Amino acid sequence: MTDVMEQNGVPADSGVTSNGTGPEAGTPGTGTAEPGAAARIAEIRVRIDEIDRALVELWQERAALSREVGATRMASGGTRLVLSREQEILERFRAALGADGTQLALLLLRAGRGPL
């Protein structure tokens, strides 16, 4: 796992804000000493954390479903994977999100079927 760094190169969880001072200068980890901005950042981060939890749950559900599809296909004498289906998924994510979408789709596919 990689460490998250603030824009100033200080680790995000170090308690040092982007202006170089400690937590006493504002809300820790917000990168600002301005109370209004720090409060808004904290509010936004609550929603980001909710979204992250949902993404993890959906990721796990998708991977389980994909593994079930693969197991069902192989148990019935089919192939381990269907390349045309993978290409369809890759293209859908690329069209919606660009190059990052392709990378995300590759990770999703690997989570469901394992590495090739």
3-state secondary structure the chain: CCCCECCCCCECCCCCCCCCCCHHHCCCCCCCCCHHHHHHHHHHHHHHHHHHHHHHHHHHHHHHHHHHHHHHHHHCCCCCCCHHHHHHHHHHHHHHHCHHHHHHHHHHHHHHHCCC
Q: Is the pTM of this model over 0.75?
A: no
Model confidence at 30: pLDDT above 60: yes
CATH number at residue 80: 1.20.59.10
Tally the domains of the chain.
Answer: 1
46, part of any domain = yes
Percentage of the chain exceeding pLDDT 70: 77
34, part of any domain = yes
Calculate mean pLDDT across residues 81-108.
Answer: 97
Calculate mean pLDDT across residues 55-67.
Answer: 97
In the structure, what pLDDT confidence band is assigned to residue 65 with cuts at 50, 70 and 90? very high
39, part of any domain = yes
17, part of any domain = no
Domain that holds residue 40: 28-113
